[in-house]
Amino acid sequence: MNICMIGTGYVGLVSGACFADMGHTVHCVDNNQEKIKKLNSGECPIYEPGLNELIKENFRSKRLIFTSNLSEGVNKSDIIFICVGTPTKKNSTSVDLNYVFKAAQEIKEISKKRKIIVTKSTVPVGTGDMLEKIFKNRKKFIIISNPEFLREGDALRDFRFPDRIIVGSNSANSFKIMKNLYLPLINKGAKFFTTNRRGAELIKYASNAFLATKITFINEIANLCEKININVEDISLGMGSDVRIGGRFLRPGPAYGGSCFPKDTKGLVSIANKERVDLSIVKSVIKSNHNRKYLLLKRIDDIFTKNIRNKKIVFLGVTFKPNTDDMRDAASLFMIPELHKRKALISYYDPTGEKKEFSSLKKCSYVSDVNKVCKNADLIILHTEWDEFKSIDFNKLVKNKKFTLYDLRNLYSVEQMRKKKIKYFSIGRTEIS
Ligand code: NAD
């Protein structure tokens, strides 16, 4: 099949490369010319394990084409996937659909024959209906919802071995086309689930809100564990062993972040508000997650008995999760500027390099070597659970100084740190001071 991905970001690029690898010819279109230039010169614009190799292979075999020319991509393709961003509107909780509608308008203007248009972007219920209105004078255009569930950091595996493929459409014929497209994945065991278009749109928001609820729930239980001397990991394991609950997304940590959960929980509440439905659970998840940022900050204040000025605070990892360079809504985006305001001296190391998000902070510096960044630290905050942070000899790296380790991902055990005589705080466990 000939496919066009509009938007070559985390979703469009991964899906496009994987579709090409399944044997389809894929035009990846992006209006960010810098991105297209990079891709055409063999450089992957995002960090995602395995993606660079996959792109190179399929680019060489001419199944993967990168272009800023929408007309070329659209007119050579039968199926067009809209994979543009759907961020939260500024000063509001509702979803900004401008990128989606702009892309649709452009497709309408340049497409010469019948097209199948699929929203892979996460879009509020009823967006497909609105797109249908845009194409109302175009005969036989089909609008399908096919939300994407890949997770950054595991994106290739998630795309190639999905639990389910959700296709929402009001036309029976489109299920056949989509099933055919995804057949190699269905043959490997992916469930092909069909519903109407609005149903598919809601499945995506409801799924993300549910996962965010699980994380927030265990974060609150972790707060309780810290007060009553119980190890939260025992609770996660004990709860998660019940197949009705399941162990995934029951690991406590900082406030959830990333490009999906924060915006999709808000988006879902906004969708419900319009219908005058009170999603009180999702609302309290958003509130609890917001409060968590302040709670962790208060703990840091307490570590220094509020005297943070000129203390050297080191962040290990700043992205919202490991194996990605994505900074969207990472907890560090709140914590670092707040600590900077308190006149702390911040240094950070991240395996995906320096971040422009902190470049305006005077006393915040990037150190490109994990072995050097910890030197003379007063506090090390283990923010992201990259593998390379799992076996650090902190005493050796910090050198002769009394320091504290605040492990937001519970990568180390309390016992290990006690033996090493390191002042250690983690999440939902007994503290050593
Ligand atoms: P992204 O910001 O990484 O990529 C979007 C891309 O679209 C950008 O490169 C941008 O330049 C391009 N773009 C915008 N308008 C365009 C236009 N008119 N023509 C061509 N290109 C255009 O976003 P993302 O993280 O890939 O997310 C895309 C959608 O997928 C969102 O709705 C998101 O909620 C959803 N989603 C994301 C993830 C994830 O992990 N990132 C997972 C599942 C679903």
DSSP secondary structure string, 53-105?
Answer: HHHHHHHHTTSEEEES-HHHHHHT-SEEEE-----BPTTSSSB--HHHHHHHH
Which two structure tokens, joined as six digits, stand for 7? Answer: 């938007």
User: Considering the chain, what percentage of its residues have pLDDT values greater than 90?
Assistant: 93
pLDDT (0 to 100) of residue 150: 98
Atom 25 of ligand 1: nearest residue by CA position: 10
The mean pLDDT value of the chain amounts to 96
Residue-level pLDDT at 400: 64
Any idea which residue has 């065991």 for tokens?
189
Q: Kindly give the distance from the C-alpha atom of residue 148 to the centroid of ligand 1, in angstroms, as a whole number.
A: 11
Out of 146, 259, 261, mutate this one to test ligand 1's pocket (max ligand atoms within 8 Å of CB): namely 259
pLDDT of residue 273: 97
Annotated catalytic residue 260: yes
- Pull the structure tokens for residue 250: 């029951």
Tokens coding 304: 């220094």
Confidence of residue 357 (pLDDT cuts 50, 70, 90): very high
Residues 187-209: what's their mean pLDDT?
A: 98
Q: What is the pLDDT of residue 71?
A: 95
Give the tens place of pLDDT for each residue, 233-255.
999 999 999 999 999 999 999 99
User: What does the pLDDT look like over 265-286, one tens digit per residue?
Assistant: 999 999 999 999 999 999 999 9
Atom of ligand 1 nearest to the CA of 7: 7
Question: What does the alpha-carbon distance between residue 413 and residue 425 come to, in Å, rounded to a whole number?
Answer: 10
With a 6 Å cutoff on the Cβ, whether 77 touches ligand 1 is no
The single residue listed with the structure tokens 């000063």 is: 91
What is the pLDDT, as a whole number, of residue 294? 97
Residues 294 and 402: their CA atoms lie apart, in Å, by 25
Tell me, rounded to whole angstroms, the distance of Cα 111 from its chain centroid: 32
Cβ 84 under 6 angstroms from ligand 1: yes
Q: Which helix (H) or strand (E) holds 204?
A: helix 197-228
Is 90 exceeded by the pLDDT of residue 317? yes
Domain 2-195 matches domain 292-425 at the CATH topology level: yes
Contacts with 341 (C-beta within 8 Å, 6 or more apart), sequence order: none
| One CATH from 3.40.50.1100, 3.40.630.10, 3.10.129.10, 3.40.50.720 for 2-195 | 3.40.50.720
pLDDT at 433: 57
Token reading at 62: 């001419």
**Residue 239 burial (10 A CB sphere; 0-12, 13-18, 19+):** middle
Give exposure, 354-376, as e/b (b: 16+ Cβ within 10 Å): ebebbeeeeebebbeebeebbee
Nearest ligand 1 atom, CA 86: 32
Alpha carbon distance 425, 404 (integer Å): 8
- Predicted confidence at residue 432, as pLDDT, reads 58
Do the Cβ atoms of 373 and 367 come closer than 8 Å? yes
- Cα of 282 vs centre of ligand 1, distance in Å, is 24
CA–CA distance, 316 with 5 (Å, rounded to integer): 35
Q: How far is the CA of 419 from the centre of ligand 1 (A)?
A: 47
With pLDDT > 70 as the criterion, what percentage of the chain qualifies? Answer: 99
Residues 6+ apart with CB under 8 A from 408: 253, 254, 296, 331, 381, 382, 383, 426, 427
For 366-376, what is each residue's pLDDT tens digit? 999 999 999 99
* Cα–Cα dist 197/143, whole Å: 8
Is CATH 3.40.50.720 what the domain over 292-425 is classified as, yes or no? yes
Across the beta sheet with 64-67, the strand order is 64-67, 25-29, 2-6, 79-82, 116-119, 142-145, 164-168, 191-195
Residue 7 alpha carbon to ligand 1 centre in Å: 6
146 Cβ closer than 6 Å to some ligand 1 atom: no
Q: Which residues contact 139 (CB under 8 A, 6 or more apart)?
A: 114
Residues 166-182: what's their mean pLDDT? 95
Mean pLDDT of 12-17: 98
**Radius of gyration over alpha carbons of the chain, in Å?**
23
Burial class (CB in 10 A: 0-12, 13-18, 19+), 301: middle
Is any atom of ligand 1 closer than 6 Å to the C-beta of 39? no
pLDDT band at 82 (very low <50, low <70, confident <90, very high): very high
Q: Could you say which of 4, 18, 83, 260 is catalytic?
A: 260
CA of 37 to the centre of ligand 1 (A): 18
Rounded distance from Cα 36 to ligand 1 centre (Å): 14
Section 211-229 average pLDDT: 97
Q: Residue 187's CB: how many other CB atoms inside 10 A?
A: 8
Q: Using a 6 Å cutoff on CB, does residue 29 contact ligand 1?
A: yes
State both tokens at 158. Answer: 């998630």
pLDDT value at 138 more than 80: no
Domain boundaries, the chain: 2-195, 205-286, 292-425
In whole angstroms, how far apart are CA 37 and each of 7, 32, 41, 63? 14, 9, 6, 17
- Secondary structure of residue 110 in the 3-state scheme: helix
Q: CATH assignment of 205-286? A: 1.10.1040.10
**Residue to mutate, 15, 27, 30, 88, ligand 1, most ligand atoms under 8 Å from C-beta:** 30
Residue 294: both structure tokens together: 């302040």
Q: Assess contact for 11 and 121: CB atoms under 8 A.
A: yes
Q: How many helices (H) and strands (E) does the chain have?
A: 17, 14
Q: Give the model's pLDDT for residue 258.
A: 97
Query: What is the band of 139 on the pLDDT scale with cuts at 50, 70, 90?
Result: confident
Is pLDDT above 90 for 160?
A: yes
